[in-house]
Structure 1
Amino acid sequence: MPYPFPDVSTAPITDLISLRGRRAVVTGGAQGLGRAICERLAEAGADLLIIDLDLGGAEAAAEQIATQHKTRAIATAADVSRTESIAAAADLAAEQLGGIDIWVNNAGIFPNAPVLDMPDEMWDQVFAVNTRGAFLGSREAARHMSQGDSGGVIVNIISTAGFKVGFPGMAAYASSKHAANGLTKSLALDLAPMGIRVLGVAPSYVPTEGNIAAAAAGMEAAKATGVELPDLDVMNQSLIGRTGTPDDIARVVLFAASDLSMIMTGSTLLADAGETI
């Protein structure tokens, strides 16, 4: 029999959006989209474990967030592509925060190269972080979530590259994000009996430290194939009159992580300003 997800139809809006008493883990949370996601989850009341390769950055983010939002925030360094590393981080969240209710697979890498010039190592690394990392994080989160009786929510940060290819040189990245999109659906099917919902959020281009560098590399990769691309302002297909911000994406993640989205699992929400229409 499927797990009976609660009917929250009579709950007030303040309760639906509140994460008070919940424990959230965000990978790649030291900067960019991950940092914005941490900020919104903490503002809604969640305690946090921030995972990042940059331990100093994660610790600084955790300290600032804990002070500003009066929640508990801790940090650890972990490599999301390594089973033992991500398992240790999940165990830390369970031990220090008392459990895991929300897990956001945000960590990702986005090198670009023309297909004929792409080394095997680049392809393997992109899949190791973007796809294997999402799987390992989800598996460890589910192991902890399934130990209680309240289930949980896993949110995978996909990309519009999980639906379309924006420019040449994206073979590894786009393939990894298409795979992560499919993984989201499969996880939702497998984990629903445990009371665990799984959703994806697919942002379009948002100017963060990592995305700016990746976009520049993508332009160079495209030029190497003889394709001249317009600048980023022209490439932006936003229908809302501006480029998205990290907080635009963080608010969608908050919706996915909260009881506002209780009826949803297996879907990927396009946070793309209409780009993929």
Structure 2
Amino acid sequence: MTLAFPDVSRSPLVDLLSLGGRRAVVTGAAQGLGKAIALRLAEAGADLLLVDLDAAAADAAAAEISSRFGVTARGFRTDVSNSAEVTAAADEAVAVLGGIDIWVNNAGIFPNVPVLDLPDDMWEQVFAVNTRGVFLGAREAGRRMADAGHGGVIVNIVSTAGFRVAFPGMAAYVASKHAVRGLTKSLAVDLAPLGIRVLGVAPSFVPTEGNIAAAEAATQAAAEHGIEIPPLDVMTSSRIGRLGTPDDIARVVLFAASDLSVVMTGSTLLADAGETL
């Protein structure tokens, strides 16, 4: 059976933005961009499973979100590169929340190694987390959504690295994010008949705990190889006079997950402050 996306033309704006009654999974949700996304989805009314490698941090973030917004929120430890663990996370969401309506593939890693020094295992790890993790999350979310017969939305966090190369030493990361951008399109084609939309959101560099640590490590590694990387405050060609914040990106994800964007699937939305112009 093919499900048509609903026509929401007559819906009031407050209903289009509301996620009340919907169940969302966010990966890499214990801090930074993932937590900011979870906060906005919860504010819009969604119940949440916060997936992260750091179980304690995920539990703490879930407790904060539940207290602030009165929604159901749980943490769940998951390695997104592990098929069995992603399946377990999807099963947990169904058990705890009652189903899955929204799945946000946010977890990712950001190493910097010049290509001639890039070891096989690091290349494979980047693709395991950044690309296979997106595939596994989308597959398991899609299966649960299809079984429920009500459609849903999958949002993949891409990166401006899915469009361009900002500086040297990023071969694995750039390749993995180009792959996610292409995967987003293919998932949209496969899942549209099931009423499932798939969108990408591509942020430029946003100063989160993880990104700052990764950028500092990349700068140090590059310096050891005689490569100069711009400092954090000029890493992006922002046209808005500042770097983006995690909440700037979270609001775009909220748009993608809500009925405001119901006519969209397969696109990757650039949330880049004009960086890629």
The bucket for the TM-score relative to the shorter chain is: over 0.9
Q: Is the CA contact (8 Å cut-off) linking 2:205 and 2:235 kept in structure 1?
A: no
Give the match for residue 80 of structure 1.
Answer: 80
Aligned to 1:69: 69
Partner of 1:159: 159
- How many aligned residue pairs are there? 277
Show the counterpart of 1:196: 196
Between the aligned partners of 2:235 and 2:109, the Cα distance in structure 1 is 21
The residue aligned with 2:180 is 180
- Alignment correspondent of 2:51: 51
Which residue of structure 2 lines up, in the alignment, with residue 22 of structure 1?
22
Within 1, Cα distance between the matches of 2:269 and 2:207? 19
Match of 1:35 in 2: 35
Q: Is the aligned partner of 1:250 residue 2:247?
A: no
Name the stretch that deviates more: 123-132 or 230-239: 230-239
Give 1:219 deviation, angstroms: 2.0
SS of 1:79 mapped into structure 2 = coil
* Whole-angstrom CA distance in 1 between matches of 2:129 and 2:88: 17
Report the TM-score, using the length of structure 1 for normalisation.
0.98
Deviation (angstroms), 1:2: 5.0
Cα distance in 1 between the residues matched to 2:229 and 2:45:
43
* Residue in structure 1 matched with residue 124 of structure 2 by the alignment: 124
Q: TM-score, normalised by structure 2?
A: 0.98
Offset at residue 234 of structure 1 (A): 2.7
Tell whether the 8 Å contact from 2:29 to 2:35 is kept in structure 1 after alignment. yes
Give the AA of the match of 1:53. L
Alpha-carbon separation, structure 1, partners of 2:122 and 2:257: 32
**1:89 and 2:74 correspond:** no
- Quote the offset at 1:225 in angstroms: 4.1
Deviation per residue, 1:106-155 (Å, 9 max, x gap):
00011110111111110000000000000000000000000123200000
Q: Is the 8 A contact 1:58 1:75 kept in 2?
A: yes
Q: What code does the residue aligned with 2:12 have? A: P
1:264 aligns with 2:246: no
The CA deviation string for residues 52-85 of structure 1, in whole angstroms up to 9 with x for no partner, is 0000000000001001001000111011111100
| Cα shift readout 1:220-267 (whole Å, capped 9, x = no counterpart) | 343344332332223321100111000000000000000000000000
Structure 1: which amino acid aligns with 2:139?
Answer: R
Distance 2:230 2:130 in 1: 27
Aligned 1:101-116 pairs, distance under 5 A: 101-116=101-116
Contact 2:3/2:151 (<8 A) preserved? no
Equivalent position of 1:274 in the other structure? 274
Letter in 2 for 1:54: D
**Does the CA contact (< 8 Å) of 2:80 and 2:107 recur in 1?**
yes
Residue type matched to 2:204 in 1?
S
Residue of structure 2 in register with 1:232 after alignment:
232
For residues 234 and 87 of structure 2, what CA distance do their matches in structure 1 show?
A: 43
Are the aligned partners of 1:170 and 1:218 in contact in 2 as well (CA < 8 Å)?
A: no
* Unpaired stretches in structure 2, ≥5 consecutive residues: none
Q: Alignment partner of 2:148: what SS?
A: coil
- Counterpart AA for 1:263: V
3-state SS, counterpart of residue 137 of structure 1: helix
Are the aligned partners of 1:169 and 1:221 in contact in 2 as well (CA < 8 Å)? no
Counterpart AA for 1:134: V
Q: Supply the RMSD in Å over aligned alpha carbons.
A: 1.1
2-structure distance, mates of 1:255, 1:116: 40
Question: What is the DSSP-based 3-state SS (H/G/I as helix, E as strand, rest coil) of the residue aligned with 1:181?
Answer: helix
Structure 1 runs of 4+ off > 6 angstroms?
A: none
Could you tell me whether the CA contact under 8 Å between 2:155 and 2:201 is conserved in 1?
Answer: yes
Q: Which residue of 1 aligns with 2:205?
A: 205
**Hey, what's the Cα distance between the residues in 2 that align with 1:33 and 1:229?**
23
Using the aligned pairs only, state the percent identity: 70
